[in-house]
Amino acid sequence: MMLLSIIIVSFNVEELLIKCLESIEKNSKGLPLEFFVVDNDSADNTVLRIRKDFPNARLIANEKNLGFSKANNQALRLAKGKYLLVLNPDTELKADTLFKMVNFMDENKDVAVSTCRVELADGSLDRDCRRHFPTPWRSFCHFSNLSKIFKGSKIFDQYYMGYMPDNIEQEVDACAGAFMMIRSSALKKVGYFDEDFFFYGEDLDWCWRFREKGYRIVYTPITKIIHHKGASSGIKDSSKKISKATKESKRRVLKESTRAMRLFYEKHYKTVYPSIVRWFVLTGVKILETVRLLKLQFDL
């Protein structure tokens, strides 16, 4: 049985993808693995570069942008690994990343999903790599900046688990699709990404479903990767200078990000909270979407 299958979905991030693949090849010698690149109809030379420079990659070249969920599922259905690594193309692995994380999964049979420390280019933690599920209260505290005002508070700073140090191993509600190592035996019971999510929210929903089945999701800082976050979307300050996203594609991403919020709430919280809470949540999401689109329009 193949030990590890790595799945990377790319969209207009040619140079970063090449660096990512180089880091895989450099830091995986002796590890039985296969790796997939699913390209979502990039306008750059991604497909040609992969065919030329990485003949060992299992390339799936889509003729249109199918979104993150569908593209990942294309490869996940073909993957043969005992462990499956969903990895962003704008990441770089360290020398010990794959070995330590595979060993971690081998030693912790009760863990279905794991992630390492995911660092932004400036060395700070990519907070999406370990978080709670976004209940209405946690989301309100996050978007109202109460979590920043009361940083470290277990009451107000729950969204990104700000009350917990990030240098210790801990069980989490969810991690990010930038780096998710999944036990394939657990995937068979949980199923693939929900393809209703186009871009954003699909990893959060997937983690919900793993937790719903009783599986553990663990963040461990025994190793790390670097994440040039938002290179495909172009909406993150940390990667604006290297992103090639057009204004129109940024607009779509912003709308998809808030659509994902609505979809997640309707799928998992609609029957949990009263209708008045639902109205406040969906109204808040609409206001957030409007503000973000206005900022994009006027380059604020």
User: Once rounded to an integer, what is the mean pLDDT over residues 4-18?
Assistant: 96
Extract the tokens encoding 216.
Answer: 């553990």
In this prediction, what percent of the chain has a pLDDT beyond 70?
94
CA distances from 290 to 140, 221, 257, 258 (A): 17, 37, 12, 10
Phi, psi of 260 (to 5 degrees): -65, -40
Residue 250's pLDDT band (cuts 50, 70, 90): confident
Extract the tokens encoding 219.
Answer: 């963040």
The phi-psi region of residue 64 (left if phi > 0; otherwise alpha if psi is between -120 and 50; otherwise beta) is: beta
Dihedral angle computed from the Cα positions of residues 143, 297, 228 and 15, in that order, rounded to the nearest 10 degrees:
160
Residues 6+ apart with CB under 8 A from 198: 67, 68, 69, 256, 259, 260
Of 200, 133, 223, give the one whose Cα is nearest residue 172: 133
CA distance 44 to 59: 15
Predicted pLDDT of residue 2: 86
Predicted pLDDT of residue 126: 97
pLDDT of 246 over the 90 cut: no
pLDDT of 236 over the 80 cut: no
The pLDDT tens digits of the residues spanning 58-77 come to 999 999 999 999 999 999 99
User: Once rounded to an integer, what is the mean pLDDT over residues 246-270?
Assistant: 92
Predicted pLDDT of residue 244: 66
User: Once rounded to an integer, what is the mean pLDDT over residues 200-226?
Assistant: 98
Question: What does the mean pLDDT of the chain come to?
Answer: 94
Predicted pLDDT of residue 289: 95
Predicted pLDDT of residue 232: 62
Predicted pLDDT of residue 135: 98
**Residue-range domains of the chain with CATH:** 4-130+166-230 (3.90.550.10), 132-161 (no CATH)
CA distances from 97 to 112, 178, 218, 226, 278 (A): 18, 14, 15, 11, 41
pLDDT of 239 over the 60 cut: no
In this prediction, what percent of the chain has a pLDDT beyond 90?
89
| Position with higher pLDDT, 286 vs 199 | 286
Predicted pLDDT of residue 230: 76
Predicted pLDDT of residue 249: 80
The pLDDT tens digits of the residues spanning 133-177 come to 999 999 999 999 999 999 999 999 999 999 999 999 999 999 999
